Amino acid sequence: MGASLDFTYQYAFPSGVAANDLGGPQVSLATCNADQAKPYFFDGTLRKPRMTGEMLYVLSEVVGTHFFLPVPPNLDPVLTNNENLLRLEGFSGCCGVYARVDLPEGVFEGDCHGRGTTNVDFNTDMRAALLRLRDDEQVEFAVGADEVVLSKGDQRTVEKKVKLPLRWIKGFSEVQAYMPRLDLKMEVPAADALRFLRSLPKAARPKRPTYAISSGRSIRASQRETPGAVPILGTHRVKVIEPLLLRAKTLKVWADDDSGASAWEVCYDVGSFFLLISPEVYRGFSGEGQVLANLANPPDESVVAQVRASLKWQSEVDPADLAARLNVATGDVEGALAVLGSRGLAGYDAGGAHYFHRELPFDLGKVEQMQPRLLGARKLIEANKVRRVTGDDGSGTSIYEVEGTGTVHRVRLSDSGEACTCPWFSKYQGQRGPCKHILAASLMDQDIAEKGAMQ
């Protein structure tokens, strides 16, 4: 097992579905944060209990699953209370599947007692009860509990000591780098989507990617890569949304052609379930290095700080509006949001094409330090193993030599993209982020450019 942080979920009570004073069901989600605060966010009723219950159940399935090892993780989802929108996010134990439940206003009604992000307890009894919620009953719903309830102390507290793998926290942040790059590939009726998912192999699974392709106005599985095809490696990871399609309206399929990541959004009349899967079963999002370029070449830290200070749990952050208010360029705000996303301080909604404010309730101070490739790049510079061969002579291209194992690699930095002669880059062609040689060359290039500007 890799590096991990000891973390204790301390809940004032176990989440669950119990009978309320009127005899109807009451869904209570227990909350706790990294500082052991137990926020009380919401109290009201659900308008779509069955749909909500099923979505939360599938979310808990994702969070409680390691998709390639038989080691069920004991991690909980994260809930953010934005303006008129509750979002629950979860990340699989293998760090390759991200799930988000969006519950907008139409799904519930009630009183908002606060905004913010918190861990929420998902336990076995509650999970089972979620599937028994029905639309014909008045279901009360609370996130957290007020002081009066907590002070009664008549419920047992819940304490779960877990090891949060660093790659899990890192991946949870890194998925936000994929979101803005997703393109909507197709939207199909739920019945067609369900037929498609049911056609995916259950037992004998393919080792090569299966592709979701448009077939008329429908969708079908294929083993061939054709234009517009959405790759899926590990079809069992997508099948988790199968139960949701019985009551959904449509399925939107998103993909990032460069990386091979795909997203599957189950859309209801109101509300949605969003599932993002990594390009391969054995590749978690943490190792993808998609944020490395941002971390290696971040926008000015003062802009990042200004943007962060402007985040007030908005469900939708408009970069142009923020740029005008802060008197900085829109591109800088977008860059700052990407950096904040990679630090777990903002999420991205691909459907709405906007960021939203949420802060992962973990110690995120070391996210950047968790990037081994960036560390490797800095070590190469410190050891004087990076040398500029030719600078940008107006052609937009710089060449660097970087010492590798037993050979010297050549790095080309240009406006059309970077390239390196190392096996990593040769194999993945940048699909899994830049290699440490490119990062080292970029850092040096940036340093040279800054020094040049100062002179």
Partner 1 sequence: MTPEELEDLVLTNGHPKEVQAAFWNMAEEDRKKLSTAAQKLHSQLSRGKANAGASERLKAATGNGVQSGWGTWNSAETRRASLAVFACGPLSAVKKERFHYDAAHGKAFAKIIEDRKPDWIDDWLAHELEQEWSHLDFDTIRKWIKIGVCQKPTVDGYYRKFADYLMGIGFYSWNGETVQPISRQLLADPDLMDDIEGLFRVETNAFNTNSWFQKGASDEWETWTDALLKLSAERHYSRDKLLDHAVTGLRADIKQNQLSGYAKFFKAMKPTKDELLARQGAIIDLLCHKVGLVQKFAVDTLAKIEASATFETGHALRELPAVFAAPAKGTAISALKLLEKIFKRSAEKGAPDAAALEAVIEALQHENGDVQAKAMALLSDHASALDEALWDRIEDAAGFIAATHQRAFAELLAKSGRASDAPEPAPTDTQNYEALSEDLLANEVLFEEDRIEPIATLDELIDAAFHAVEVVDSPDEIERIIDGISRLADQRPADFDQRVAPMLHRLSDRSLATAQNGLATASIGVGDSVRAFVQSWASGELKGPVKGHLKYYSKENTFVPIIGHLHAMAQRVVQGIAKQPLSTPTHRGGWIDPLVWVERLRDRADEPGALGSLDLHRSLIRLAPDNRATALQMIEDMLGNLGRVARFALGGEVRPAKDDAKHYAAWLCAARSCDPTRDWSEEFAVMRVEDTQPGGARPAHFTWRTSHTKESYEDMRWKNAHLSYEISAAESDAPSSTPAKSLLSFGRSLLGKAAEPDWKSIPTIAANGRVERSQFGWSELLSVWVAQWLFYVWPQDATGAYFRATSSLMTRIDEDTSSWSPSHGYFDALFVRGRPWGEGGHLVLCLGLIGKDADAKGLAIDAMIEGIENGAFQPTRFAQIMQKLSDAEWVKLNRLGASLTQVAQTSPLHANALSQAMQLWLPGFDFAQRGAFHVLESLSEAQASSGLPLSQALRDNLATLKGAGKAAKLAKTLLSTAN
Residues that bind partner 1 (CB under 8 A): 61, 64, 124-125, 127-128, 131-132, 134, 189-192, 194-195, 198-199, 201-202, 204-208, 210, 215-216, 220-224, 243, 246, 401, 404, 406-410, 419, 421-423, 426-427, 429
CB nearer partner 1, residue 292 or residue 411:
411
Beta-ladder partners of 110? 44
61 or 332: whose CB is closer to partner 1? 61
CB of 260 to partner 1, least distance (A): 14
CB of 129 to partner 1, least distance (A): 9
Which CB, 156 or 312, lies closer to partner 1? Answer: 156
Closest CA to 108 of 55, 63, 31: 55
Closest CA to 360 of 75, 104, 94: 75
**Residue 134: C-alpha distances to residues 225, 245, 331 (Å):** 41, 16, 46
Cβ nearer to partner 1, comparing 150 with 162: 162
Residue closer to partner 1 (CB basis): 128 or 324: 128
CB of 318 to partner 1, least distance (A): 38
In the bound complex, what is the minimum distance in angstroms from residue 51's beta carbon to partner 1? 13
User: Least CB distance from residue 279 to partner 1, whole Å?
Assistant: 14
**Strand order of the sheet with strand 272-277?**
31-32, 116-120, 78-82, 85-91, 97-104, 272-277, 262-267, 250-255, 183-189
Cβ proximity to partner 1, 297 vs 429, nearer residue: 429
State the nearest-atom distance from the C-beta of 96 to partner 1, in Å: 18
Decide whether 249 or 354 has the Cβ nearer to partner 1: 249
CB of 246 to partner 1, least distance (A): 5
